[in-house]
C-alpha cells in the first residue's frame, strides 16, 4: 500500500494547542474514551510535548492522562514520530488540515489507526461525512471509525 499523502505544509505554531478527538479508530488505550482531548506544545528543543486526556468508559469515568512526545521528522512538519515508550516512535501523519487550522486528520501508513480532531467538540455532519469519504478513498475502512463521545 502506498504511503499516505500528507498536507503540503503545517505551520507548527498554529497547530499547537487543544484538539478535541471527534472520531478515531481507537488504540487499545483509547477504547471507551469520552471527552478525549489531545494538546500540543512546542518545546525549545523542537519536540512536541503532548498531553492526551479522556474519561474512561463514561463522561464521569476515571480521568486518564498520557504524555507522549512528538518529533517532527520532515520539513513539511506533517510527519511526526509519536513516542509513548522509548525508543519506539509511532508513525503520525497529518493527512488533512483545513486552512483555518480548525479540523485535522492524523493517519498512519498502516491504516490501522486514525484520528479526526477539531478545535471544538463537534464538526458539522456534512464535513464529517466528507472526511470519512476521503479516508475510505485512501484505504481506510469507514466501518472501523468510531465517534468519540464529547459533552461539555
According to the model, what pLDDT value does residue 85 have?
A: 63
For residue 64, the tally of other CB atoms under 10 A from its CB is: 16
For 108, half-sphere exposure in the C-beta direction (CA atoms, 13 angstrom radius) is: 16
CATH number at residue 20: 2.40.128.20
According to the model, what pLDDT value does residue 142 have?
A: 97
For 127, half-sphere exposure in the C-beta direction (CA atoms, 13 angstrom radius) is: 15
| pLDDT: which is higher, 89 or 71 | 71
According to the model, what pLDDT value does residue 89 have?
A: 74
Section 80-102 average pLDDT = 86
Range of the domain at 133: 12-147
Rounded to two decimals, the pTM is: 0.95
14-70 pLDDT, tens digit per residue, is 999 999 999 999 999 999 999 999 999 999 999 999 999 999 999 999 999 999 999
Residue 87: pLDDT band (50, 70, 90) is low
Q: Tell me if 152 is assigned to some domain.
A: no
Q: Tell me if 6 is assigned to some domain.
A: no
The total of structural domains in the chain comes to 1
Q: Tell me if 52 is assigned to some domain.
A: yes
- Average pLDDT of the chain to the nearest whole number: 95
Amino acid at each position: 500500500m502506498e504511503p499516505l499523502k500528507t498536507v503540503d505544509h503545517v505551520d507548527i505554531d498554529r497547530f499547537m494547542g487543544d484538539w478535541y478527538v471527534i472520531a478515531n479508530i481507537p488504540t487499545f488505550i483509547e477504547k471507551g474514551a469520552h471527552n478525549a482531548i489531545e494538546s500540543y506544545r512546542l518545546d525549545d528543543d523542537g519536540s512536541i510535548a503532548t498531553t492526551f486526556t479522556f474519561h474512561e468508559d463514561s463522561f464521569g469515568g476515571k480521568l486518564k492522562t498520557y504524555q507522549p512526545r512528538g518529533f517532527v521528522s520532515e520539513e513539511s512538519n506533517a510527519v511526526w514520530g509519536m513516542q509513548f515508550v522509548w525508543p519506539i516512535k509511532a508513525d503520525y501523519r497529518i493527512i488533512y488540515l483545513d486552512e483555518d487550522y480548525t479540523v485535522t486528520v492524523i493517519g498512519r501508513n498502516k491504516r490501522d489507526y486514525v484520528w479526526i480532531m477539531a478545535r471544538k467538540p463537534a464538526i458539522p455532519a456534512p464535513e464529517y461525512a466528507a472526511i470519512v469519504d476521503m479516508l475510505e478513498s485512501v484505504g481506510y475502512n469507514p466501518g472501523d471509525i468510531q465517534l468519540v463521545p464529547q459533552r461539555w
